[in-house]
Structure 1
Amino acid sequence: MAQSSESRAPQLTERLPLTTIIPRAWIGFSKAPWRFVGLTALMLITVSGLSVISRDLQQAEGLWQSTISDLVFVATIPSTLVPLVALLHLADQYLPSIHTAQSIEPAKGRQQLRWIFRQTAALLLLESVILIGGLNTLKIIGALMARQSGVFSAVILIAGGLALILWTLSQTLAIPLLVHHGHRPLAAMEHSRRLVQTNRLKVLALLGLLIGVNLIGLMGAFLGLLLSIPFSALLLMASCRTQTPWVSDSRRNILPT
């Protein structure tokens, strides 16, 4: 019975609690500011260091330098993904309510984090395959249609491009939902699509808020990003604490506790 109720839960209409994500994010950040800043600093230092090494090796002459440069560049992907997922997981723990995170034993928490890393990597790989496949399909269809009609080819490219953009936007919350709910990749993609479809304007407002926060962070260069990136992670994870209209717990959970 528990499994059936869980499977039906995501089918309910969910609303993003956009009006409360900023106070929730501030509460979460105030609980462990140095952990958030330290993890963000580790991510920025690692990515910046690998990028500098890759660029220097690329400028050097020689086949082995170019090969190592490519390998270092590829290594920036997991080097970014691992601390990013850890940051989202940390944000999920310290957002209200925190008592669920505290009940996790350390060994179990580490095991859960490793599982999240694997599922997130699979999710990104699946989304990349879909996106690259869609772009290549559009390119092939556009080239074939261009032989018959240039106007028709342009219409197909524009329509296909818009479809890919809308699909990409529908996956905005896939990784945060995977971290928060423990979804598998396909379930996270479907949950994100359904949630974005129900809250189109709120998702656009959330993206605008995230862009604004990080633009402000960029004004302070490295030190500004140390605050804007963890706050963005907290905003994303706070958005996963959705409200279901006409459910008794929804009104009680509207305001941060």
Structure 2
Amino acid sequence: MAHSSEPTTAMGRERLPLSTVLPRAWRGFTSAPWPCVGLSGLILSSAAGLGTLARELQANSSAWIRHSGDLVWVLSLLVPLILMLGLLRLADTLLPSTGPDDCDVPQAKERIPWLLRQSVALALIETLILLGGITTLRGLGTALLAHSGVLAAVALLAGGIALTSWTAGQVLALPLLIHHGHRPLAAMEHSRKLVQQNRLKVLALLGLLVGLNLIGLMGACLGLLLTLPLSALILMASCRTQTPWRKD
């Protein structure tokens, strides 16, 4: 099965439809609230339950039990990631089609194994780049500190800003991968271009997501059952971009 691997920015400058993401997200949520809440509950319970079990096993005096605790710790990261992928894919199917591009997206039942492989590859690539950048900054700061503390501080500040900018530029990579069927590198490039063209809107989007989930943390974190699916719907609605001379 062929999948799109080129970012759609070739059509022109893409505009993030920030003014319409909340109405779209709410309509998507009300069309299937219980599957959304159920998946959110599974994400939270798997993360908390497996993480707690991993800590208990790692504190055991037996070596093989400690090793099994390491395995459970890996599962505590992998299982919520898979469930989050399912939540994003569900959100993508709940949102209405907005143009001819959406008609080319393969059906969910045909794409889930492919999406899982590509999403894991994307997570690994971004993690390696981030860890490599942090390691490089630490080594550079240590080397420069022996000659000049001011120079080391300037280099760390500049490198930190560059690394933060790169990280912010990848905030839409996974949603774009899911919606457009991109390969990991194409999704990263599409996200970078989209963020670069909509800096202020992306900052507003991040502020909206952070504020929404801070509200969800109230009430013994039960609000996350609602704010997690709404966040997923907002992210997937952000992939329905607008281009000049085309109505959304």
For normalisation by structure 2, the TM-score amounts to 0.91
CA distance in 1, matches of 2:126, 2:59: 32
CA distance in 2, matches of 1:16, 1:103: 20
- Give the CA deviation at 1:125: 0.3
CA distance in 2, matches of 1:244, 1:198: 11
1:58 corresponds to: 58
> Aligned-residue CA RMSD in angstroms?
2.4
Give the number of the structure whose residues are more often helix, by fraction: 1
CA distance in 1, matches of 2:180, 2:44: 27
1:70 corresponds to: 70
- My pick for the range that moved more, 193-202 or 43-52, is 43-52
Q: Is the 8 A contact 2:177 2:184 kept in 1?
A: yes
Helix, strand or coil for the counterpart of 1:221? coil
Alpha-carbon distance change, 143 to 8 in structure 1, aligned in 2, over 3 angstroms: closer
1:168 corresponds to: 167
1:224 corresponds to: 223
Q: Is the 8 A contact 1:27 1:96 kept in 2?
A: no
- Give the CA deviation at 1:220: 2.5
CA distance in 2, matches of 1:55, 1:7: 43
CA distance in 2, matches of 1:84, 1:16: 23
CA distance in 2, matches of 1:96, 1:232: 16
CA distance in 1, matches of 2:19, 2:148: 49
Structure 1 unaligned regions, length at least 5 = none
Q: How does 1:188-227 map to 2 (within 5 A)?
A: 188-227=187-226
Q: Is the 8 A contact 2:7 2:187 kept in 1?
A: no
> Aligned AA for 2:71?
L
Percent identity among equivalent residues? 54
CA distance in 2, matches of 1:44, 1:212: 18
> Aligned AA for 1:237?
M
CA distance in 2, matches of 1:144, 1:210: 38
Q: How does 1:1-257 map to 2 (within 5 A)?
A: 7=6, 9-11=8-10, 12-97=12-97, 109-247=108-246, 250=247, 253=248
- My pick for the range that moved more, 53-62 or 92-101, is 92-101
> Aligned AA for 1:47?
A
Alpha-carbon distance change, 217 to 240 in structure 1, aligned in 2, over 3 angstroms: same
> Aligned AA for 1:188?
A
- Give the CA deviation at 1:225: 0.9
Structure 2 unaligned regions, length at least 5 = none
Q: Is the 8 A contact 2:89 2:178 kept in 1?
A: yes
CA offsets per residue over residues 53-103 of structure 1, 9 Å max, x none?
012123322322322222111111210111100100000001113999999
For normalisation by structure 1, the TM-score amounts to 0.88
> Aligned AA for 1:192?
S
CA distance in 2, matches of 1:220, 1:82: 26
Equivalent pairs, count:
244
Moved over 6 A (4+): 98-105
Alpha-carbon distance change, 13 to 29 in structure 1, aligned in 2, over 3 angstroms: same
Alpha-carbon distance change, 151 to 56 in structure 1, aligned in 2, over 3 angstroms: same
> Aligned AA for 1:81?
L
